[in-house]
Each structure stands twice: as C-alpha cells, then as structure tokens.
Amino acid sequence: MLAAQAESFPGDKPITIVVPFAAGGPTDRVARDLAEAMRKPLGGVSIVVDNAAGAGGSIGANKVAKAAPDGHTLLVHHIGMATMPTLVRNIPFKVESDFEYLGMINDVPMTLIGKPALPATNFKELATWIGQNKGKINLGNAGVGSASHLCGLLFQTAMKTDMTAVPYKGTGPAMTDLIGGNIDIMCDQTTNTTSQIEAKKVKAFAVTTSKRLTTPALKDLPTLQEAGLKNFEVTIWHGLYAPKGTPADIQKKLNDALKVALKDPDFIKKQEGLGAVVVSDKRMEAAEHKKFVAGEIAKWSPIIKAAGVYAD
C-alpha cells in the first residue's frame, strides 16, 4: 500500500503546508512562495497553506506530527524548531524524532529597529539611550517563541539590560505599534522590516548577521558585532518537515521538489527582495538539515533557560 502511494505521489490530492504562525507574517510569506515554487516539480498539484498559530509555534508543529505520514501534510517552521524543546516545557512531541527532515529553505537576517521618534540615529547613540533609560524601555515582539522574541532575548543578554517585553499576536500588530510609537525598539526579520526601513517608517540601527548585507536598503547598516556586541549573530532559518514515518520514496520526491524550488529564479528573486538568502549548501539535504537543527537546539537552550520565559 505504502509503495503504491509513494509511486503515485502526489496524485490529485492537495498538499497542505502548515505554518505555525499568523497569516501575513514572515514565515507565512516564505511558505507561500515555496508552495508556488514546488507546485511545478510536483506535477502541478495544488499546495495550500494552513496557518495554525500559538504556543511558540508548537500547535502547528503538533498538527503535522500527528498527521497521516503520506506526504500530504508538511510543516514550514523557522528557528522555533530548535527553541521549542526548551521554550515549551510540556511539548507534546519530540522535535528530533517525530518528524522527517526534508531540507532547509533559507536564512533570514534580522534588523534592530526603533520607533520614528527615538532620539538615537545610530547604534552608538542607541546604546547610550538604552543606558540612560534602564527600566523604561519597551521591547516589542510577535509573541513568545517568535523570531523577534528570540532575538530580543539575545539582545538583552548582550546589552546586559532588562527591558519590558511587549508580546503581540503576530508581527503585523507589533510593527504597527512600533511605527505608531507605542513601543520603543524591536528586532525582527528582514522579510518584515526591509520595506518599512525603505519607506523610513522606522529607524534602523544594525543587522544581526556576521557580515553586512548587500540589500540596497540595508547595505549601510553595521552588524551588531561591528557595533561591539561580540559573537552576536542571529539568522532565522526555515526548514521543511513531514510527519515521522513518511515513506522514503515520498520523502525523496519532496526533497527533489524542494531542491528544484530552491533553484527557481522567481523564488530566489522573491526571497532576495525580502532580504532572505536561499539555501544553496548541503543543508538542503535531509541529514544535514537534521544535524544543523540539533546544533541550534544546543545553542538556544541555555539562553531561554536563563530568561525563564516559557510559551506553555
């Protein structure tokens, strides 16, 4: 039966990509672009996106972990796959053993941005302002477990300053309040911040990569390492997953389709337009994808434990 399923996959049955975050957010945009790019190599099958947000990304992930392992329910998740084991203490699945790893999709840099009325114009001035306003700074994020929450944790640790975290139900409302001046600063993915920086709706201070970015709107921003925060590097990577037990032949078809999508000029152009870098290294292979995530789990676990803020 499984062999017959694998041979005819995907057939006429639609494929659902579950995104464990709100519609319109950065991960949702990546998933929708990927769905379009994977349709052709999978014979033109319909690929729909299902947003199942909540609990640090674990609700959507659990939905896929419990789905039929037939290749028709997939998961696109970001760095949250590496943080959930610590962030969600009663997680109902095991990240490293309840999924089939299908390959990485992209790396998304992050930017440190501030409200338009912030008096600082560069990172040095921002650092001074932070020092002068300890206990008064509101640091926005898109909810516990979101990329902006994780980057914010690392930023507070690096600055040795506690800030008041203000969680929102998604990136959209957080950005709206930052532009409106209701929160002071935020660290978020270039997929969400580049257009706002271009339009000068927010102030941009730095990028979180080890090297400066080449995107026109961001090329003049220093890295936080340049600014003096040693070893500060955060990229929000995305990967593709299937339920444990998905037949090997189906996994291969999905991995092959993913590789075609990652070389699709339109997909690459869309991702570059968002400031994301499409994966072109060995992490597009399932085994390397899994190895990479294991390393990220080891990196983030002590940071989350030190903060003592959990999503459950």
Which H or E element spans position 39? Answer: helix 26-39
Does residue 180 surpass a pLDDT of 80? yes
- Mean pLDDT across the chain: 92
Q: How many residues does the chain have?
A: 312
Per cent of the chain over pLDDT 70 is 98
Q: Give the CA dihedral 185, 84, 241, 39, nearest 10 degrees.
A: -30
- CA–CA dist 265, 37 (Å, integer): 10
What pTM was computed for the model?
0.81
Mean pLDDT value across residues 95-119: 96
3-state secondary structure of 118: coil
How confident is the model over 186-223, as pLDDT tens digits? 999 888 899 999 999 999 999 999 889 888 889 999 99
Does residue 143 surpass a pLDDT of 90? no
Tokens describing residue 244? 């444990």
Does residue 285 surpass a pLDDT of 60? yes
Q: Hey, what amino acid is at 160?
A: K
**Confidence label for 3 from pLDDT (cuts 50, 70 and 90):** low
Q: Are strands 203-207 and 47-51 parallel, antiparallel or unpaired?
A: unpaired
Whether residue 251 contacts residue 241, with contact meaning beta carbons closer than 8 Å, is answered with no
- pLDDT, residue 4, reads 52
- pLDDT, residue 1, reads 47
